[in-house]
Amino acid sequence: MTARILDGAALARQIRSEMGQRAGVLASRGHQPGLAVILVGDDPASSVYVKHKVTDCHEAGIRSILDHLPADTSEAMLLARIHDLNNDPAVHGILVQMPLPPHLNPQRVIEAISPLKDVDCFHVSNVGALMTGAPRFMPCTPYGVMKLLEHAGVPLAGAHAVVVGRSNIVGKPQAMLLLQASATVTICHSRTRDLADHCRRADILVAAVGRAQMITGDMIKPGAVVIDVGMNRVPSGPRAGKLCGDVDFDSAAPVAGAITPVPGGVGPMTRAMLLVNTVEAADRAAGADQNR
């Protein structure tokens, strides 16, 4: 068997175009969606991610504000800036790019963002809403994975989903969304014993560990759907330095039923879902304005 490729880039293109249309309608009614992105310092990877987010907004007709603050910005300054953005009616989404420099407390910073504008879905009240099944937002990467699975027609109810990784950004919310779709969910992590055995029982395997090519073909049930959230560099060999996922694509693809490539799988979906959340927030704000 050779796996069907789940083309995240194509689906993301479609979603970006839909968001462009919705943003146009909102703008014509005087409610152009707006996203504020705050970058503190000059982490090279973060700078690239932020640039992509701003470009995506521009192409979809979403207004973006990029606040690039120096690495030694004080927490008080950053919180004051977030406070101003919380009170700016033209800003519907606020994203503070992580990681922050070590002198800043990420949790305090996240909790300063209005939950109504928390398009990352990192705020504790939004995480709580997600847990109880009444989400205000869904975090971009797990949301993108759910959209990919839905688009591919993968049945989730009763399926065994194994999530490898327990981060607050991906692993935990991913497991929750799969559970809410009635999958039976196992969460594995760096301390899990017999990881390969757990993986081999998965109908749907989501790899979000951040370790290059650690999930190999022998760890995959024949016909399983494999979702690779990883974004790493090949450590050695002829492809050294090239982008790769947490899954060893070459050994996994002949075994899996469907698989996301890296790049071109989950990554573009994450970016697209940020636009979805921003447009959704603007839509709600416009509705609230109308009912005032």
Catalytic residues: 53, 97, 120
Q: Is residue 148 at the binding interface for ligand GUN, with CB under 6 A as the rule?
A: no
- Closest to ligand GUN by CB, 29 or 51: 51
Q: Classify residue 215 by its DSSP letter.
A: B
Q: For residue 40, what are the β-bridge partners?
A: 69
Using only C-alpha atoms, what is the Rg of the chain? 19
Q: Is residue 266 at the binding interface for ligand GUN, with CB under 6 A as the rule?
A: no
Taking the complex as a whole, how short is the minimal distance between the CB of residue 1 and ligand GUN, in angstroms?
33
Strand ranges of the sheet holding 160-164, from the earlier edge strand across to the other edge: 4-5, 258-259, 225-228, 204-207, 160-164, 184-188
Q: Is residue 73 at the binding interface for ligand GUN, with CB under 6 A as the rule?
A: no
Taking the complex as a whole, how short is the minimal distance between the CB of residue 156 and ligand GUN, in angstroms?
23
Taking the complex as a whole, how short is the minimal distance between the CB of residue 245 and ligand GUN, in angstroms?
15
Tell which residue, 114, 123, 121, has the closest CA to residue 137: 121
Q: Is residue 156 at the binding interface for ligand GUN, with CB under 6 A as the rule?
A: no
Question: Taking contact as CB under 6 A, which single stretch among the options 23-31, 91-99, 128-136, 226-234 is the one that binds ligand GUN?
Answer: 91-99
Q: Classify residue 260 by its DSSP letter.
A: -
Query: According to CB under 6 A, which one of 3, 95, 104, 127 is a site residue for ligand GUN?
Result: 95
The residue count for binding ligand GUN (CB under 6 A) is 7
Question: Taking contact as CB under 6 A, which single stretch among the options 16-24, 89-97, 152-160, 253-261 is the one that binds ligand GUN?
Answer: 89-97
What is the distance between the alpha carbons of residues 64 and 116, in angstroms, rounded to a whole number? 17
Question: Taking contact as CB under 6 A, which single stretch among the options 19-27, 63-71, 92-100, 250-258 is the one that binds ligand GUN?
Answer: 92-100
For residues 124 and 114, the answer to whether their CB atoms sit within 8 Å is: no
Taking the complex as a whole, how short is the minimal distance between the CB of residue 125 and ligand GUN, in angstroms?
17
Taking the complex as a whole, how short is the minimal distance between the CB of residue 95 and ligand GUN, in angstroms?
5
Question: Taking contact as CB under 6 A, which single stretch among the options 94-102, 127-135, 184-192, 235-243 is the one that binds ligand GUN?
Answer: 94-102
Query: According to CB under 6 A, which one of 54, 65, 69, 98 is a site residue for ligand GUN?
Result: 98
- Closest to ligand GUN by CB, 115 or 257: 115
How far apart, in Å, are the Cα atoms of 129 and each of 143, 160, 268, 275?
15, 24, 25, 20
Report angle CA 233, 236, 242 to the nearest 5 degrees: 35
- Cα 137 to its chain centre, rounded Å, is 12
Tell which residue, 123, 52, 87, has the closest CA to residue 268: 52
Query: According to CB under 6 A, which one of 11, 140, 231, 279 is a site residue for ligand GUN?
Result: 140
What is the distance between the alpha carbons of residues 62 and 92, in angstroms, rounded to a whole number? 10
Question: Exposure pattern of 40-51 as b/e (b: 16+ CB <10 Å)?
Answer: bbebeebeebbe
Q: Classify residue 220 by its DSSP letter.
A: S
Give the residues lining the site for ligand GUN (CB under 6 A).
95-98, 120, 140, 169
